[in-house]
Amino acid sequence: MAATSWASPATEHPTYCMKRLLAAGVLAGLVAGAAAALFAATAGRGPIRDAIALEDSISHATSGAHHEDLFSRSTQEIGGAVGLIVFGLALGVIFAVVLGAVGPRMAASTPLAASMRLGCTGFMAVVVVPFLKYPANPPAVGDPDTVNERTMLYFAVLALSILLAWAVWRFHRAARLGPIAQVWATAGLYSAGLAVIFLALPASPDAVDAPADLVWRFRLASLGALAVLWAVMALLAGTLLWRPSPESGQRPSE
């Protein structure tokens, strides 16, 4: 790569240029999306099929009419895999840019460590916290009349969770407390913020009347697929960044 026009004034040739970060993020995101799709196809296929069978039996019993399916099951299974790969790609782009913005400010010793830290934080903020408030549901659960309300609530918890993680990180960097007090204050602030988010947002408007066993088999498969996605993405992106850009002047000793 030629001398980069976007090099920071502080460092003429930084370790990584933006294009390099993006290439790592895109590749990591694609592979991570494929890994998550593979996980979903094995661990999640059973619960999805059971849930759709239940959904069909309910709609037969209540209306007597079978609603016309736009796509066959096998097409939807392919669509699900394509969706996870596209989602992985998009997440990889976001991950790369955020890593470029926050990575240099982290007290991480290597780019892989920075990537893993961001991956853990991102998984917590983007997946675990929203899941704890509004857990994923299989197809048989969900009232079409409340879908817009539930989408808004989901966005609210997602946005608040990301905002809280960012604010607490800023606090941790800015606070000048003792080394122990700083960690306790950061953990306390995060816990308090989570409590406010969980209490302020209303419960999901839908009653979950599908069997708990089915619902939880699906929820664990969903959480597992997302854990695979984030773990593979963070590991791979960090590993791809192990070698600095040649013009940065840094090189790993071999």
Partner 1 sequence: MCDTAFMETHALPATAAPAFDKIDIPVWAWALVALAAAVSYFVMLENGAVLSTAAGTLHEFFHDGRHFVGVPCH
Q: Which is nearer to partner 1, 70 or 212 (CB)?
A: 70
Residue 8 or 188: which CB sits closer to partner 1? 8
Q: Are 137 and 165 contacting, i.e. CB atoms less than 8 angstroms apart?
A: no
Angle at which helix 212-240 crosses helix 111-122, to 10 degrees, equals 160
Please state the closest distance from residue 187 (CB atom) to partner 1, in A: 25
Amino acid letter for position 145: D
Pick the closer one to partner 1 by CB: 60 or 105.
105
CB of 9 to partner 1, least distance (A): 8
The nearest distance, CB 75 to partner 1, in angstroms, is 7
CB of 120 to partner 1, least distance (A): 17
Instruction: Give least dist CB 66 to partner 1, A.
Output: 15
The answer to whether the CB of 118 falls within 8 A of the CB of 99 is yes
Distance CA 214, CA 203 (A): 21
Q: Tell me the closest approach of the beta carbon of residue 227 to partner 1, in angstroms.
A: 12
* Cα separation, 186 vs 60, whole angstroms: 53
47: three-class secondary structure by DSSP? helix
Question: Looking up tokens 């947002």, which residue turns up?
Answer: 201
CB of 103 to partner 1, least distance (A): 5
Contact 188, 196 (CB under 8 A): no
Backbone angles phi, psi at 67, to 5 degrees: -75, 140
Which is nearer to partner 1, 130 or 193 (by Cβ)? Answer: 130
Nearer to partner 1, 178 or 207 (CB): 207
141 or 164: CB nearest partner 1: 141
The smaller minimum CB distance to partner 1, of residues 165 and 221, is found at: 221
State the Cα angle at 163 between 158 and 166, rounded to 5°: 130
- The packing angle between helices 147-174 and 179-200, to 10°, is 160
- Encoded amino acid at 214, one letter: L
Distances (CA, A) of 15 to 100, 138, 153, 241, 253: 10, 44, 40, 9, 15
